[in-house]
């Protein structure tokens, strides 16, 4: 097994320049937001007080950041050491998914200058699901940076510190599994208080389980997607052998999710609602079809063997998991009066900018730090 | 303008009725017990049949709470920041009068070819969602009076209360870089000085009536048990206060008292002459949403036992497994 090394590639490429441009545009609109208020940039309103900055950047964004969580569970808890080469890239995407999710929270908060109140024991309100999410995500961002720290330490040659850190890494590995389980399920629990405003197609007591299971599935899908795209782009040795083994794990999780989703829908007699013509019902079916497609590819040997089908299925899973979150938070949600919401262009540009920043930092890190395996030939 | 109509956007028919019940049976084991109303709770009765739509309460509320005038976008070309004309609750408006209109709108409190008024503001829930969701205790419910207040110095502006309130009450001022949550706090600042809420104080007909919830309930009982047409002295301002009452006759009420059971019950109650949903008051079940979400959190995080046990288990496994494959990993340069 080869070791992780920085990719010797130029930092300035057409791709990175486009990404930089998108980030600059996003910061321009963020400037407008801070000068003139949320309403000057975003279409959020009293009926839809949460828009894509919450749902895409935080709720979907952190699910995309679950690669580190998913791999830590497999490698450290279920002792599948053979997947270790996928660990660092997974942690890296988690690092940015979560760090930028936290950043998005700050600019979405209407009274961000009070954000530190979340840390004052005499202000916090322990019954609030959001408090649990906020504290747990903050803690996990720290854990992710610590889990990823060996890459910096190796690069800087600080082997002494690295040895000490390695000895205690099991603590962070455990937290790296526990904390995402907690807050990813809580992202589902956040909707439990919405019972009267949420379509029964999404509202269920199983929301926390559905959220955490789909986050896990999305975490693996991100790892598969990343490994395939990165090895293609930089013509590194294919990781497909490893990925196809991982596929079965993801397949089983996806099947489990679908079973829970549908048994629950039948148990609550909510299925008839899935046959009413409306946009939300249409999206409900798209969401389930994407999960089903991914499950079918991943549980069949032929599907797993084909790199192309696996990549498509990973993408389907990411799209399905994202749509599930979007539906649960925005589409299946019914405001009390005449309100509608569709993100404005500046609002979209901010979210696109955040995603661009994520990809940009990912590229910079894999080119400067030992993250990927198999680049030895290019040294 | 039919301000209380609903647009069915992105939704199928049948949704609203289906959503009117939380999965109570299934949640019986999960939900925590509902909160009980305080014996000294204060409340309000808004009787839509008495309301004449004068909006004196809207103006008084603005003055009492130092809220700025609210001018809808489509009126700004001729109404320059002077005439307060709110159409709904907003970051600038804590209390609003809305109108239901149908057909020729000839008769008051008739569903067909009639009209009716409704007043919207915080209902001061017995088991408020806004208090339950707020991460920084910016929303608080007084244990004695039951008034739900908001403290902008704590608020982080996350707007979970806006999203979560089943009645659509808290509003965030999106057009201000230093925006705040706006919500009726039952004029608690006036009540502390022994005064009554401004809206009840100025109401000429007694449509908005202040008083202890117990006495409010008795007054509701009197109105609902009397036959339509019988003379009745409708108290004004505060129940039991020696203001001259509004002497009129009992109208035709629709069945039910809005707020008695909705979402776990509220301290503001409504009587009306047309069905409550027509007035834009949401159809809600009896369970308080907070009891369900808090019940789930308490089940999963009881004394943090589950997370701590999980952590110890994970740490044990991770340590063992890491030691095992520390050897398969080539030493790093
Ligand atoms: S009506 Fe809404 S804002 Fe008022 S107490 Fe109830 S949940 Fe809170
Ligand atoms: S917006 Fe303010 S009051 Fe509302 S839940 Fe968030 S912190 Fe609490
Ligand atoms: S109680 Fe006070 S704040 Fe609430 S609606 Fe009446 S006047 Fe406005």
Tell me if chain B has a CB within 8 Å of the CB of A350.
no
- Show the domain range for A88: 4-338+352-378
Please give, rounded to a whole number of angstroms, the shortest distance from the CA of A182 to a CA of chain B.
Answer: 8
pLDDT of the residue at B189: 96
Give pLDDT tens digits for A148-180: 999 889 888 888 999 999 899 999 999 999 999
ipTM of predicted assembly, 2 dp: 0.93
User: Measuring CA to CA, which residue among B294, B211, B238 is closest to residue B30?
Assistant: B294
Atom of ligand 2 nearest to the CA of A110: 1
Q: Which of A36, A84, A117 sits opposite B154 (nearest CB)?
A: A117
- Within a domain: residue A316? yes
User: Measuring CA to CA, which residue among A250, A173, A266 is closest to residue A214?
Assistant: A250
How many domains, in total, are found in chain A?
1
Residue of the CA atom closest to atom 4 of ligand 2: B161
> Which CATH number characterizes residue A316's domain?
1.20.1630.10
Contact B156 A270 (CB under 8 A): no
pLDDT of the residue at B5: 39
pLDDT of the residue at B30: 86
Is residue A311 pLDDT above 90, yes or no?
yes
Give pLDDT tens digits for A181-205: 999 999 999 999 998 999 999 999 9
- Give the pairing of strands B114-120 and B107-108: parallel
Contact A129 B293 (CB under 8 A): yes
Is the distance from the beta carbon of residue B170 to the nearest atom of ligand 1 less than 6 Å?
A: yes
Give pLDDT tens digits for A47-103: 999 999 999 999 999 999 999 999 999 999 998 888 888 888 899 989 999 999 999
Alpha-carbon distance of A138 to A134, in angstroms, equals 6
Which residues in chain B are closer than 8 Å to A267, comparing Cβ atoms? 26
B positions 113-152 inside 8 Å of A (CB): 129, 131-137, 152
Q: Ligand 3 mean position to B144 CA, how many Å? A: 19
pLDDT band at residue A239 under the 50/70/90 scheme: confident
Q: Which of B19, B294, B322 sits opposite A169 (nearest CB)?
A: B322
Average pLDDT taken over every residue of chain A: 92
pLDDT of the residue at B327: 53
Is residue A233 pLDDT above 90, yes or no?
no
Is residue A324 pLDDT above 90, yes or no?
yes
Give pLDDT tens digits for B230-275: 999 999 999 998 899 999 999 999 999 999 999 999 999 999 999 9
pLDDT band at residue A265 under the 50/70/90 scheme: very high
Residue of the CA atom closest to atom 5 of ligand 3: B95
Sheet of B96-101, strands arranged across: B96-101, B114-120, B107-108
Is this prediction's pTM over 0.90?
A: yes
Cα–Cα–Cα angle for A267, A286, A233, nearest 5°?
130
Counting ligands in written order, which one lies closest to the CA of residue B138? 2
Q: Is A238 exposed, middle or buried (0-12, 13-18, 19+ CB in 10 A)?
A: middle
Q: Ligand 2 mean position to B10 CA, how many Å? A: 27
pLDDT band at residue A1 under the 50/70/90 scheme: very low
Domain boundaries, given as residue ranges, for chain B:
6-33+292-325, 42-286
Alpha-carbon distance of B314 to A180, in angstroms, equals 13
Counting ligands in written order, which one lies closest to the CA of residue B141? 1
Least confident of A117-121, A156-160, A272-276: A156-160
- Within a domain: residue A113? yes
B positions 147-166 inside 8 Å of A (CB): 152-160, 162-164, 166
Question: In the structure, how many helices (H) and strands (E) does chain A have?
Answer: 13, 2
Alpha-carbon distance of A23 to B83, in angstroms, equals 43
Atom of ligand 3 nearest to the CA of B57: 7
Pocket probe for ligand 2: among B155, B164, B168, B290, the residue whose CB has the most ligand atoms within 8 Å is: B155
CATH 3.30.70.20 fits B42-286, yes or no: yes
Positions of chain B with pLDDT under 50: 1-20, 24-26, 329-333
Alpha-carbon distance of B24 to A17, in angstroms, equals 54
- Within a domain: residue A346? no
Contact A360, A71 (CB under 8 A): no
Alpha-carbon distance of A183 to A140, in angstroms, equals 9
pLDDT of the residue at B21: 54
Residue of the CA atom closest to atom 6 of ligand 3: B199
Q: Find the helix or strand (DSSP H, E) in which A279 lies.
A: helix A279-299
Contact B319 A134 (CB under 8 A): no
User: Measuring CA to CA, which residue among A207, A208, A230 is closest to residue A90?
Assistant: A230
Contact B156 A131 (CB under 8 A): no
Phi-psi region of A79 (alpha: psi -120 to 50; beta: other; left: phi over 0): left
Closest-CA residue of B relative to A332 is: B11
Tell me if chain B has a CB within 8 Å of the CB of A280.
yes
Q: Ligand 2 mean position to A297 CA, how many Å? A: 44
């Amino acid at each position: 097994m080869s070791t992780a090394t920085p990719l010797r590639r130029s930092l300035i490429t057409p791709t990175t320049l486009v990404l930089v441009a998108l980030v600059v545009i996003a910061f321009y609109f963020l400037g407008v937001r801070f000068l003139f208020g949320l309403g000057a940039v975003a279409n959020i309103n009293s009926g839809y007080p949460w828009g894509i900055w919450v749902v895409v950047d935080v709720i979907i964004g952190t699910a995309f950041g679950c690669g580190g969580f998913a791999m830590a569970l497999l490698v450290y808890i279920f002792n599948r050491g053979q997947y270790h080469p996928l660990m660092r890239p997974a942690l890296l995407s988690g690092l940015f998914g979560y760090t930028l999710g936290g950043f998005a929270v700050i600019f979405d908060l209407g009274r961000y200058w009070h954000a530190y109140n979340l840390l004052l024991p005499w202000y916090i309100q322990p019954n609030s699901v959001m408090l649990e999410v906020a504290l747990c995500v903050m803690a996990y961002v720290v854990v992710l940076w610590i889990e990823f720290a060996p890459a910096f330490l190796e690069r800087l040659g600080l082997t002494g510190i690295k040895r000490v850190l390695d000895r205690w890494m099991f603590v962070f590995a455990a937290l790296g599994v526990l904390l995402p389980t907690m807050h990813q399920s809580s992202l589902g629990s956040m909707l439990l208080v919405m019972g009267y405003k949420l379509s029964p197609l999404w509202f269920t007591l199983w929301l926390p389980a559905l959220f955490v299971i789909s986050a896990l599935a999305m975490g693996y899908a991100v790892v598969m997607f990343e490994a395939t795209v990165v090895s293609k782009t930089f013509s590194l040795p294919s990781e497909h052998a490893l990925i196809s083994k991982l596929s079965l794990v993801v397949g089983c999780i996806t099947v489990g999710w679908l079973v829970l989703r549908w048994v629950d829908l039948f148990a609550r007699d909510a299925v008839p609602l899935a046959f009413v013509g409306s946009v939300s019902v249409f999206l409900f079916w798209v969401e389930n079809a994407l999960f089903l497609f991914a499950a079918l590819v991943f549980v069949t040997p032929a599907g797993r063997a084909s790199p192309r089908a696996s990549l498509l299925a990973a993408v389907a899973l990411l799209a399905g998991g994202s749509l599930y979150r979007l539906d649960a938070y925005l589409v299946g949600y019914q405001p009390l009066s005449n309100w509608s919401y569709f993100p404005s262009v500046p609002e979209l540009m901010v979210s696109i900018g955040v995603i661009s920043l994520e990809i940009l930092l990912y590229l910079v890190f894999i080119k400067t730090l030992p993250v990927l395996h198999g680049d030895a030939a290019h040294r | 303008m039919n301000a209380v109509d609903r647009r069915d956007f992105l939704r199928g028919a049948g949704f609203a009725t289906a959503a009117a019940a939380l999965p109570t049976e299934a949640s019986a084991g999960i939900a925590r017990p509902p909160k009980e109303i305080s014996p000294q709770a204060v409340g309000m009765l808004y009787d839509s049949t008495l309301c004449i739509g004068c909006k004196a309460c809207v103006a008084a509320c603005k003055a009492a709470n130092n809220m700025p005038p609210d001018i809808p976008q489509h009126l700004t070309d001729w109404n320059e920041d002077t005439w307060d004309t709110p159409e709904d609750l907003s970051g600038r408006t804590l209390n609003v009068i809305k109108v239901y209109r149908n057909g020729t709108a000839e008769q008051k409190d008739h569903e067909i070819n009639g009209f009716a008024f409704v007043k919207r503001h915080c209902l001061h829930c017995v088991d408020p969602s806004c208090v339950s969701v707020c991460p920084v205790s910016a929303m608080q419910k007084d244990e004695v009076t039951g008034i739900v207040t908001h403290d902008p110095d704590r608020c982080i502006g996350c707007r979970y209360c806006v999203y979560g309130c089943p009645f659509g009450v808290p509003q965030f001022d999106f057009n201000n870089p230093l925006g705040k949550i706006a919500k009726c706090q039952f004029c608690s600042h006036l009540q502390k000085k022994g005064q009554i809420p401004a809206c009840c104080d100025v109401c000429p007909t007694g449509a908005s009536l202040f008083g202890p919830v117990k006495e409010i309930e008795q007054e509701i009982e009197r109105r609902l048990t009397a036959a339509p047409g019988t003379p009745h002295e409708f108290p004004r301002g505060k129940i039991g206060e020696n203001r001259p009452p509004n002497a009129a006759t009992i109208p035709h009420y629709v069945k039910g008292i809005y707020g008695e059971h909705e979402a776990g019950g509220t301290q503001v109650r409504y009587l009306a002459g047309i069905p409550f949903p027509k007035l834009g008051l949401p159809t809600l079940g009896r369970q308080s949403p907070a009891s369900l979400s808090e019940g789930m959190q308490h089940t999963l995080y009881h004394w943090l036992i589950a997370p701590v046990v999980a952590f110890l288990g994970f740490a044990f496994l991770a340590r063992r497994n890491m030691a095992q494959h520390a050897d398969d990993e080539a030493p790093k340069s």
